[in-house]
A and B are shown apart, each in its own frame.
Chain A
Amino acid sequence: MNEKLIRRIKEIVGSDCVLIEPEDLAAYSYDGTFEEHSPDLVVLPRTTQQVSRLITFASDENIPIVPRGMASGLAAASVPFSGGIALSMTRMNKILEIDKLNSVARVEAGIVTADLQSAVEKQGLFYPPDPSSIRHSTIGGNIACNAGGPRCLKYGVTGDYVLGLTIVLADGNILQTGGKSIKDVAGYDLNALFTGSEGTLGVITEAILRLISKPKFTQTALAEFKSLDDSANAVNAILSEGLLPATLELMDETAISCIEEAMHLGLPLDVEALLLMETDGADDLSVKREMTAITRICRDRGAREVKIAQTEGERAKLWKARRSVSPSLARKAPNKLGEDITVPRNAIPEAIRKLKEISARYQLPIVIFGHAGDGNLHPNILFDKRDPVQWEKVNQIVTEEFELALRLGGTLTGEHGIGTLKRPFLRGALGDVSIDVQSRIKSALDPKNILNPGKVLQE
């Protein structure tokens, strides 16, 4: 990028908020995938006004803007393939207000999700969405990808908590959507439009989030299954009986052995699957009763053992295990590709069987874990990208995984988003009409295509 442009940008945000060294550009070239491409410049703004002025300038100069939080994304949505400006929102990390009476928080986009959670929990409130990256992802990033997490089975996804947004549009205008009201049907639902838009329609700088009361009681248990099939059937049996646990997380045997190797938590290594289950609520007895019922169902469906965590320490250990599944897989191979296909609940057993078949056919390990309760699975292919044969197989496996999800009535992604990696499959999943509608929305809001160009939709 030429000196003059850089000087102008420094005037807008201040020179301590602009990074230009080759080492900086390299550090902003990646996200949580194996993809890489350097931006021309990194900007770390501190206010919505700065973002607005920056985008106005970028629009005039036709400079691409690629927004990002902490870049933990798994679809290469924030990798700046287009060059231009990597717009890091991490320094806009203030909690502007916690409104106890209305159970609402107003925050800047760059706040780390776990920091927000602990702040509201100190006041007896609760922000439920809990992507595994809670400690290393931001609210803005969560909203831009409509992040999920284990608790979404009962509590819903990030988008269910977005009441209002402050968004800088592609022409630099600042759009306010929604507000503190719970019910709001005035006009189109723009919160929903920008939630999950992966930085392609606008840059989210602030959010108003709905909070709920913190559940006072929790029961956490781990069920051990000799058969992966049985565990999937148990999930359906639990939900069909009208029980709604906060969490029903599945881990298959490879996942278990990876966690054990990384964390030494004492998980059983002679089972095909574990279900991590949690019930919570305001009433101790009903939380316990619910867990008792779930435990019984698991046993009926072939669980060898169901252990209920007796202390907070035991509970923390189980969650630590679950949260470290994805990264701990890297102990087995230099690369992993984790998808997040989603199928209707009743199709989970079949989805798992078919994924295992695919893995056997291509002779590459596919580790399966995920949010079995809401049909959102994380098949992770383990491979070495330096081996062209393996890399070719990975591409074929991914295609088969997506075909499988669609055939079973599901979809490509439950929470990671489309980004770059799943883009080639979107038309097949949604059809021409839907893609046409979405392309028209994109060009209406970003006619110059400067906001995260090339992501989600093919150019």
Chain B
Amino acid sequence: MKSSLSQPSQQQYLNCIRCGLCLSVCPTYREYLSETASPRGRVFLTRKGLEGEMELTPNLIEQMYGCFACLACNDACPVGIKPADLAMQMRWVDEQVHPTGWKRTLFGELIPNPERMEKATLAFRIYERSGVRKLVYALGLRRLIPSQLRDMEAMLPHLPRRPLRQSLPEITEANQNGKYRIGFFLGCAQNLLFAEESAATVRVLARNGCTVITPPQTVCCGMPAAGYGRQDLVLEQARKNISIFENINVDFIVTDCATCGSTLKEYGALLGEDQQWAVRAASFSNKVKDISEFLMSIPLQKPKGIINGRVTYHDPCHLRRGQGIWEQPRELMKLIDGIEFTELPEADWCCGSAGSQLITHYQTSLKVLSRKMDNLESTEADYIASGCPGCQMQLSVGVKKRKLKVQVVHPIQLLDKAYQNE
């Protein structure tokens, strides 16, 4: 391997003793029961690929894309190897060796540009708003769509009339005395698909004494680019976002997307060796908080309104393992009177979303989802909450496929609703 490449260091894989412990927690291994689809296998292939004993063939790289990046192996490894991180880095190694043109266009030019994204997704909003979607459901036309496309259609939530960025004011004043100045990072999926959730987030923050500043110029956090091996673009996007928030002087930077949060918190580490940016990136990342993490750290107003129903919770990988946050969202929902909280069996097992695996690894994604749905059915819950747009889309597919009466929500929506029910 050429030494000029940015690639994992020897110490990241050398000490893997192949004990096999990671197999027991890996969602792709547990579905295929094949070593090639396991973290230990990926670490082994990484080593062979980097040490030149094996070629970086499309099939070897495909094993790296087969990883759902749920991070469970990172957590399980007693040696401290991070197989999921290695799989991600190997995608970047491959992009350096075999660059793909379209990725620059998609992850460098389209996704990080909110205006272009909003135009590109207009068709979805027309589909929803024109009533065509309702018609498709009412006439049972979905049956006619090939199954994968049907499931991708089912991923789409009720789409907002307009992207939230166009309607959310740049400054939302606190309802009472402003105690905190909060920078709100509006993620792409939240803006385009889950606008109601982020609107709820801003309302809840304002109600709890936060002046919320939502800079409209922010770009994608970078996770999609990282997932497709363009670590270089992640750094570009990180620098843009850091600069934007430096200009508005806030106490905390809050996001209601688990994936954005975990990426934003990594900026410090990602730019740690960049002399010009290291300090700025670290100071940015130190301010980043998931919405549940932030709310549970301040004197949060207990809602007087009631929500009746059984609620369960699915841990997004990027929140539980990516950020070490699992108690806060549960505590937040338990504050609401009327809610009967039931723990979901294997709550922190990946749902199979992993960003875009339902599109790129359809069969595996469905198998992993099926395990989640079995667990969900066992709870007999009315709501399943999860603070990640990817997980919510995936869970919605599962709920529709099994025709369950469960509502998929963000925890913040329950809190917002409880406030509104007062």
CB of B79 within 8 A of CB of A262, answer yes
CB distance from A114 to the nearest CB of B (A): 7
A114: which of B24, B34, B48 is its contact (CB, 8 Å)?
B24
Segment with Cβ contacts to B, from A4-12, A23-31, A198-206? A23-31
Assuming A30-B18, A31-B18, A326-B19, is B57 touching A23 (CB within 8 A)?
Answer: yes
B20: which of A136, A335, A336 is its contact (CB, 8 Å)?
A136
CB of B36 within 8 A of CB of A90, answer no
CB of B24 within 8 A of CB of A112, answer yes
A27: which of B19, B22, B41 is its contact (CB, 8 Å)?
B41
CB distance from A382 to the nearest CB of B (A): 11
CB of B57 within 8 A of CB of A137, answer no
A323-359 residues with Cβ-Cβ distance < 8 A to B are 324, 326-331, 333-336
Q: How far is the CA of A263 from the CA of B18 in the complex (A)?
A: 19
The chain B residue sitting closest to A70, CB to CB, is: B20
Q: Which residues of A contact B38 (CB under 8 A)?
A: 27
Assuming A23-B59, A23-B60, A114-B24, is B33 touching A32 (CB within 8 A)?
Answer: no
Q: How far is the CA of A331 from the CA of B21 in the complex (A)?
A: 15
The chain B residue sitting closest to A335, CB to CB, is: B17
A300 part of interface (Cβ distance < 8 Å): no
Assuming A32-B19, A72-B19, A327-B19, is B35 touching A27 (CB within 8 A)?
Answer: yes
Q: Which residues of A contact B20 (CB under 8 A)?
A: 32, 70-72, 133, 136-137
Q: How far is the CA of A262 from the CA of B77 in the complex (A)?
A: 9
CB of B79 within 8 A of CB of A327, answer yes
Assuming A26-B48, A32-B18, A330-B17, is B78 touching A262 (CB within 8 A)?
Answer: yes
A150 part of interface (Cβ distance < 8 Å): no
Q: How far is the CA of A289 from the CA of B14 in the complex (A)?
A: 48
CB distance from B56 to the nearest CB of A (A): 11
Q: How far is the CA of A137 from the CA of B19 in the complex (A)?
A: 10
Q: Which residues of A contact B63 (CB under 8 A)?
A: 23
The chain B residue sitting closest to A329, CB to CB, is: B17
CB distance from B142 to the nearest CB of A (A): 29
| B34, B38, B41, B77 pick with most chain A CB within 10 angstroms | B34
CB of B35 within 8 A of CB of A71, answer yes
Q: Which residues of A contact B54 (CB under 8 A)?
A: 22-23, 26
Q: How far is the CA of A324 from the CA of B33 in the complex (A)?
A: 23
CB of B36 within 8 A of CB of A24, answer yes
B15 part of interface (Cβ distance < 8 Å): yes
B34: which of A90, A93, A133, A327 is its contact (CB, 8 Å)?
A90
CB of A327 within 8 A of CB of B36, answer no
B341 part of interface (Cβ distance < 8 Å): no
| 27 sampled A-B residue pairs with Cβ under 8 A | A22-B54, A23-B60, A24-B35, A26-B45, A27-B38, A28-B35, A29-B44, A32-B19, A44-B33, A44-B34, A70-B23, A71-B18, A72-B19, A88-B33, A90-B34, A110-B33, A112-B24, A114-B24, A133-B20, A136-B23, A262-B78, A327-B19, A327-B78, A328-B78, A328-B79, A330-B78, A335-B17
**Which 6 A-B pairs have CB atoms at the shortest separation, nearest pair first?**
A327-B78, A27-B41, A136-B20, A90-B33, A135-B24, A72-B20
